[in-house]
Structure 1
Amino acid sequence: MENIEHLYEEYAQTVYKYLFSLSQNADLSEELTQETFYQAMKTIHHFRGECKISVWLCQIAKHLWYNEINKKNKTRSISIDDLEIPVHTGKNVEAAVLQNEEKLALFRMLHRLDEKTKEVMYLRLSGDLSFSEIGDILGQSETWARVTFYRGKQKMMKGRSEWNSD
């Protein structure tokens, strides 16, 4: 039991950041972090040590996240209370529309990247994870994460100039 407590103290923040980068929801990320360590405690005897413990924990977290998505997709219904209608006045409307268009353009460019680069970009931009943490999660080095992020930015910049010239 002490081992799980030690693992939790050492890796809970990494798992939480990873889940937050996927879900963009603090409450859900906290809940799934707790569930990740519960599942880890139940299956620790299956851990073979072929990867870092942080990678193993993030894999459990990712599976829990996928299960959560599948569960929500099966029971998806939208109530009027779920809709967020922003209230804007005057120039704020224009600024909000421009900001939304910029976000959409960014996500379109991210979507065009290969899977590994896309995952690095999401973890860095949405999850606010360090390159070291990203490398650990993806089973790569910190340098690999830095280079992948840099190349992803370069591809996006190139794509942006091509996209804008159309």
Structure 2
Amino acid sequence: MAKINIQTIYEHNKQDVYSYLLSLTHNKSLSEDLTSDVFLGAIKSMPAFRGNSSIKTWLFSIARHKWYEHLRKGKKELAPEDFLRIYLSDDTTLETAVITKELVGRIYELLEQESVKSKDIVLMRVDGYSYFEIAQKHNISESSARVIDFRTKGRIRANLLKEGYISESDFL
């Protein structure tokens, strides 16, 4: 692979990474801090970058992981809209469901119980990756990526139903 100039990468992608993080955090200062962390992380992991995706996609993946790392460290309370989109998004009317912080916390806990592969597939879908891109990253077929995504979300929904966090009417 050709030599990659981090300064050029920074100049071409800083605003996009910042905007992406701002859409997650809704906090300008935090987004600026995390943007810096993303590029520091990119510098550290540059030797591991294989070029299987675009640099921007790679940076967004680092940004997403920095955001989750920040959440795990408890630096920000979890907002319902942050995780509704991530863990339960599909074509149903979930936008109308009322999500509490307790529910969001439970959704997060359930996703953490999934395998690394299943969790990554769900998160990649939320980030807008196609099943084709996910399949390439995980060295599986597109249909396997779809099935893993569907089943993982299904397990989370089933647990939430069983525990009484949501009802069947939330999915109608």
* TM-score grouping bracket, smaller chain normalisation: 0.3 to 0.5
Decide which structure has greater helix share.
1
Q: TM-score, normalised by structure 1?
A: 0.44
Q: Over alpha carbons, which structure has the higher Rg?
A: 1
Structure having greater relative contact order (Cα 8 Å, sep ≥ 6): 1
Q: TM-score, normalised by structure 2?
A: 0.43
